Structure 1
Amino acid sequence: MEDFQPATTAEHLLWLLARHGVEHLFLNPGTDSAPLQEAVATLAKAGVAIPKIITCSYESVALAAAHGYWQVTRRPQCVFVHVDVGTQNLGAMMHNAMRDQAGVIVIAGKTPYAEEPGAPGGRSHTIHWQQDVPDQAGTVRGYAKWVMEITRPAMLARAVGRAVQVATGGRPGPAYLMVSRDVLMDPPAPEPGRTTRYAVPRPPAADADTVRWIADRLAEAGRPLLITGKAGRRPEGFLAVTRLADLAGVRVIDLAETGCVNISTSHPMNLLAAADGQRAVEEADLIIVVDADVPWIPRFTEPTDATIVHIDADPLKTDMPMWTFPVDVSVTADGPTALGQIAERLEEMGHTMPPPGRPEAARPAAPPVPADGPITVHEVVAALNEVLRADDLVIEEAVTSARVLHETLDRTRPATMYGTGSPGLGWGLAGAVGVSMASPGARVVTVVGDGSFMFGVPTAALCLAAEAGAPIMAVVLNNDGYRASRLPVFELFPQGLSATRGDAEGTRFSAPPDFAAVARACHADGETVTDRAGLVAALRRGLSAVESGRSSVVDVRIATD
């Protein structure tokens, strides 16, 4: 371990994390983290490299930020939480990390085992009995890819190496470790343990026969369609989707809810309008589904006479018990890798341009700008198009406004839009902070609903941005309520009293907080916009704040339908 000899297992743990490439430890401290906090001071004085400690005031915010960092870098970061209660406060962000296949490592404290007088790190507070629960890991067992408790120093090196390997490899996902503070205070193992040769599997490719078969079908198809949600998470996926669209005239449905750019919004084969996508599903004779949890919703559209190829690292979708979409050919492969193989095969076949007559997609026309009344979502997106640069990074958690954002926001470059494609609201603020941390100097803009803004614990998220020196601009689409919870009432009861009066119980905020004031209380600029004439200028001021190193919140009051 170079010239440094750790005195405790906690010191060894920090050293191991750094050796495995973990750059940040998002810390939410408690009584169980004391050995780590002392170890940080000791190692800093000794000049030993350890992850940068980022103080977080709420656990879900810490995990969302680590998740955002992973999306940009594909490098796992670590979150430390306080025993069972800290684990519970990870909440829906654990679901998001699982569904979005985010390689993150969560380390949770564990109630001390020792209770004898003088035992280092032993039980010393009432809560050490109260927090001794039968199955702490059960809180996250359905969402963690791997769970392990470190019960003795000798297993630490292998446990950390395995956590990084499992979180990063295959279908990435969260790894959950537990360790009690008395173990953290134990003397470390005599040998530091191996920190190398925890190989991460390379992305699986499709077999050559399958690639040839798909390429042949693609060349023969009259109405081929590619549906993808997350192939563009990596730049090579974006390029592969674009190559197929250029080579074979494949029309592309870039699923809106994933918050990802799979193909340029200006590409003629990009089916941006929902209605166009639904018709394409029904008309296609070949559909290739790649890295998409829900390729279409049967209630609204279904293929009629198409051969369906499904490419995914887990095409069986074993974590979705009732995933029963029709599939004719199922391929276990990494989406970007397989699409690249298919494109290369088409080029080998001499298929270098789309057949004549392949239809091009049309971008949905924006509705006319109203002369008066509330600002519309279309106007907000038009204003964003005016102020954003092509290399700005956009984080999306717009909920019921996500479709408009997807259809009308200009995104022409890979890796310039992020989201989870998951149901756990409250990710957008801290996820943006993580993206900002991983992208120094970039302008990071998150577009969230007012409900998502509050779910995101804005005081904690904005303070985290200040702590980490990772400024963001949050654009809040503020319609004074939970539109996402109101619309299902109207859908299920179209003739009901709620639909008749245009409202549903529990979906309006009668006394919402002043989001701009919240921002100003948390080291950020805050501004409320009610007049469309001032919208672009407000967004420019928010971006100027980000450029100066300060976060900003632009609270835009939109129509409350």
Structure 2
Amino acid sequence: MARHGGRILVDQLVIQGVKRVFSVPGESFLAALDGLHDVGIQNVVCRQEGGAAMMAEAQGKMTGQPGVLFVTRGPGATNASAGLHVAMQDSTPMVVFVGQIARGHRDREAFQEVDYRAFFGPLAKWATEVDDTDRLPEYISRAFHVATSGRPGPVVLALPEDMLSAFSDTPDIAAPVPMPTGVSEAQIAAVLDALSTAKRPLIVAGGAGWSRDAATNLERFAERFALPVAVTFRRQGHMDNRHPNYIGDLGVGMNPKLGQRLQAADLVIALGTRLGDIATNGYTLIDPAQPDKRIVHIHPDPDELGRVYRPDPGIAVSASQMIAALAQVNAPEVSRGDWVTSARAEYDAWRAPKETPGTVKMERVVSWLSDNLPEDAVLTNGAGNYAAFLHRYYQFKLFGTQLAPTSGSMGYGFPAAIAASIEHPDRTVVCMAGDGCFQMTVNEFSTAVQHGAKPIVVVANNGRYGTIRMHQERHYPGRVSGTDLANPDFAALARAYGGHGEVVERTDDFAAAFGRAQSSGLPAVIELRLDPEALSTGLTLSETRALGEAG
């Protein structure tokens, strides 16, 4: 039976197992909206394409299956590009459908015309345009394969409106057949051989494609072989942070002693991570030109192996597959002195709260959340100095409880929290946000209300773009330019949207405010009024400026 292209597309999404899509509607894909009308796929209607794209990215990060996004042409697509950049840098599977002008109007700079192959080329694993309604199932099948294969990432399909509204009797394509998986004995032997001669080995875990089973297997392997485990930037949910073999995160503002330990290691087993500039402090902790240690690199995409560091060896399998195999190996008698215990002691010392000025102290707020939230609570954040408190003082207990952009995107935390609350309505979802970060996507508050999401947003309000101000004071001390903010009453804004809002001006009042927010059953904002001197976890504003003045 003939169907219009929009229904063909949606039927393919059903076959792919898609349960939810995120969108901002546009006239360029009306046929797709019609296709979604009665098939049972939830359409989360958002307020701006950037927020919608971040929700879809968070969905992909939570589930391991592509998050699906629909946006219209021109400004809709360009607005969404911020979320695609997150998906690309974070290796998150995502499929994006973009409405496009009619095929007969191409190359005339028609209304909202964009060449999406050129525009999204650097931001996606694959970007193309579907010219023929008959081929929609083929393109969609390939899109889902590409988004999830090797190193996962975003795929963009542009859909000319006349192609999408045309009718066709083209048949559907079945869902992908699961690929056979496995790790060879030779690959396991190569890892064990490297470990047999190492005196100061270090596991660095990161990347996408992990699961609760993988996190458990990592703990088992680390225990058996007496290995310390560090994780990369914003991948702290890859291992229970309370485990004695966990030693911290190689992220922005990392523990200096952890960086020194990475330098001192004679073997690095890189599990799933690309081992990029953040984990290596701008490639200074491990010099790609003169690496002074052996690197065993395990990554699902063979193109990543040898891209920056020479692996010895490089093994093209997923981290979860490899760690499942290694967890079954019986370890020989292993003695590494205090290599693990001293590394763990350095992590514990780093977590001891360093007092900041003011009557609301972020270190105590985050420590309270770490001690009191359920183990399966989901924590999200965007970018800003406030996030350093979360990375340093919060202990993630279970896989899947951290949603944060390794790309360093501001505005991500709140849309991600909405997506998490929709996906896990029975779990506590907390978004940590700065005043600047929150305002980039605060308009999605009405999306949360409309779709029954109830995240609790903790807004660190210090009246400035704190991270940029920190760098500004270091490089141009005392010359404030472009970093101050005029902020709304965030609690009143939450109430205006139909949510719950509170202001906290003393640390001791936070716990009660959080309890009220949680019991409200509404999306909520708790605004923390911070002392402007409390710039980061390490230095105050005055100290940062003094360092800049001293050169």
User: Normalising by structure 1, what TM-score?
Assistant: 0.85
Deviations 1:487-536 (CA, angstroms, capped at 9, x unpaired): 33344x3xxxx32x3x6321221x22222222222222122212222111
Q: Is the 8 A contact 2:353 2:364 kept in 1?
A: no
1:193 pairs with 2:172: yes
Q: Secondary structure at the match of 1:506?
A: coil
CA distance in 2, matches of 1:90, 1:238: 32
Partner of 2:489: 514
Q: Which runs of 5+ in 1 are unaligned?
A: 116-122
1:412 pairs with 2:412: no
The residue identity in structure 2 corresponding to 1:199 is V
The residue identity in structure 1 corresponding to 2:245 is M
Deviations 1:350-385 (CA, angstroms, capped at 9, x unpaired): 437665544411212524657x72422211212212
Partner of 2:116: 136
Partner of 1:331: 315
Q: Is the 8 A contact 1:24 1:53 kept in 2?
A: yes
Query: CA shift at 1:6, angstroms?
Result: 5.2
Q: Is the 8 A contact 2:190 2:313 kept in 1?
A: no
Shift of the 8–300 alpha-carbon distance from structure 1 to 2, 3 Å rule, reads closer
CA distance in 2, matches of 1:537, 1:559: 21
Partner of 1:72: 62
Q: How much is the aligned-residue C-alpha RMSD, in angstroms?
A: 2.7
Equivalent in 266, 273, 297 of residue 242 of structure 2 = 266
Partner of 1:437: 422
The residue identity in structure 2 corresponding to 1:475 is V
Shift of the 428–365 alpha-carbon distance from structure 1 to 2, 3 Å rule, reads closer
Q: Secondary structure at the match of 2:237?
A: coil
The residue identity in structure 1 corresponding to 2:76 is G
Equivalent in 347, 351, 356 of residue 332 of structure 2 = 351
Q: Is the 8 A contact 2:100 2:158 kept in 1?
A: yes
Q: Secondary structure at the match of 1:175?
A: strand
1:240 pairs with 2:217: yes
Query: CA shift at 1:213, angstroms?
Result: 2.6
Query: CA shift at 1:334, angstroms?
Result: 0.8
Q: Secondary structure at the match of 1:422?
A: coil
1:227 pairs with 2:208: no
1:540 pairs with 2:515: yes
The residue identity in structure 1 corresponding to 2:389 is V
Deviations 1:41-95 (CA, angstroms, capped at 9, x unpaired): 4xx3xxxx24222212211111111111122222223211111221101132111
Deviations 1:371-421 (CA, angstroms, capped at 9, x unpaired): x72422211212212431112111133532334322321322222222221
Partner of 2:523: 551
Equivalent residues, number: 516
Shift of the 50–186 alpha-carbon distance from structure 1 to 2, 3 Å rule, reads farther
Partner of 1:119: none
The aligned runs of 1:31-180 (5 Å cut-off) are: 31-41=27-37, 44=38, 49-113=39-103, 129-133=110-114, 135-180=115-160
CA distance in 2, matches of 1:232, 1:171: 9
CA distance in 1, matches of 2:142, 2:66: 12
1:487 pairs with 2:470: yes
User: Normalising by structure 2, what TM-score?
Assistant: 0.86
Q: Secondary structure at the match of 2:531?
A: coil
CA distance in 1, matches of 2:184, 2:68: 35
CA distance in 1, matches of 2:8, 2:207: 37
Query: CA shift at 1:209, angstroms?
Result: 2.1
% same residue: 25
Shift of the 305–89 alpha-carbon distance from structure 1 to 2, 3 Å rule, reads closer
CA distance in 1, matches of 2:353, 2:36: 56
Q: Which runs of 5+ in 2 are unaligned?
A: 249-253, 533-540, 542-551
Query: CA shift at 1:472, angstroms?
Result: 0.8
1:215 pairs with 2:192: yes
Query: CA shift at 1:302, angstroms?
Result: 4.1
The residue identity in structure 2 corresponding to 1:442 is R
Q: Is the 8 A contact 1:446 1:475 kept in 2?
A: yes
Query: CA shift at 1:110, angstroms?
Result: 0.9
Partner of 1:366: 352
Q: Is the 8 A contact 2:5 2:163 kept in 1?
A: yes
Q: Secondary structure at the match of 2:370?
A: helix
Shift of the 399–232 alpha-carbon distance from structure 1 to 2, 3 Å rule, reads farther
Partner of 1:505: 481
Q: Is the 8 A contact 2:268 2:295 kept in 1?
A: yes
Partner of 1:301: 285
Q: Is the 8 A contact 1:263 1:412 kept in 2?
A: yes
Q: Secondary structure at the match of 1:282?
A: helix
